Homo-oligomer: A and B are copies of this chain.
């Protein structure tokens, strides 16, 4: 069987007309003799509506019940797509995670798919049916509904591609593919034809919302080629694949940035072993993701300053946790809500000297102050004041010749 997995994002099924278009895309693959497994997201806006209800009901809402609620979005969308295909004369039905089943492990709200039972879906495909699987969810060993991380329909698609040994995995979304940077901010941003998992991973985790980071990682681990395409425009998208398949002279492949970070600086903490752990332990336990971390020696005896960044959504929670943490003492807490992280990404960076220097030099020439620096093998990130965000990205996009791709 020539199995293909197609996933449709929230905006692709954003309204009823679009669901009709989605049905036509699916049919185009059926006509080309593919056995199509479809993964559906919730209609855009639906998940947020549901989240709003949850927030209004209770401040401390149990995660397990949240998943019961959120999973309905994909359940509805998958049945609507199946219904439309039926009307158009195709055999199709919705498949819910507990019917297949799709097994997950981990915490509610952020589970991971560990197994997908193939028998029922395979025999349905053999009978000529097109299964529409509700994405973003599974069942755990307690037989309860779980959802994957936000945007987790991507993970559903990748894992389906893996377990069903699909020839291809196509992510239909509202963008044409992966760009050198966000085209909404920088007009000269260019579409990337092929990108490695590693680069895509950095692009994604740094804010390019094309695909969910965890699912890119899954694709990488399972060596699944993923195509990102627009469900609105008939254009070639971006292929996310192995490094080896990519030939490109540019060291830097893309520039990523975030808008919703906050910076915490704890001034005058005791510089003793275990102090960082004491600060980050309650944050970890309360699911606050700490991103950049810098420790400066303040010079005054055995005191130091510690700076870290978090998502602005976690601001209130983090502030509370830091303030009530009795195992650490500090003189002052400075919170800066006006920071943005800008990152340059490229697998070629490892073997090319001078990238760091070029980056800092280019920003310095534009009088952009760098507040925090963090580096990995294939990316360099700097924290800048939010007012300098656009200028920073523009400068680096030009500096690394992405304008002229």
Contact = CB atoms under 8 A, between A and B. Distances in A.
Interface in A68-107: 68-69, 72, 75-76, 78-80, 82-84, 86-87, 93-94, 96, 98-99
What class of interface size applies to chain A in its complex with B? 35 or more
Given A58-B87, A75-B72, A87-B60, A65 B82 contact: yes
Contact of A66 (B64, B83, B143): B83
Contact of A69 (B62, B80, B87, B99): B80
A contact face: mostly helix, strand, loop, or mixed: helix
Interface stretch (A48-56, A352-360, A366-374): A48-56
A19 interface: yes
Given A72-B72, A99-B143, A65 B53 contact: no
A144 interface: yes
A386 interface: no
Tell me the number of copies of this protein: 2
18 contacts: A16-B56, A19-B57, A20-B57, A50-B76, A54-B80, A58-B84, A60-B86, A61-B83, A61-B86, A62-B93, A64-B93, A65-B79, A65-B94, A66-B79, A68-B76, A68-B94, A69-B75, A98-B98
Interface of A: 16, 19-20, 50, 53-54, 56-62, 64-66, 68-69, 72, 75-76, 78-80, 82-84, 86-87, 93-94, 96, 98-99, 143-145
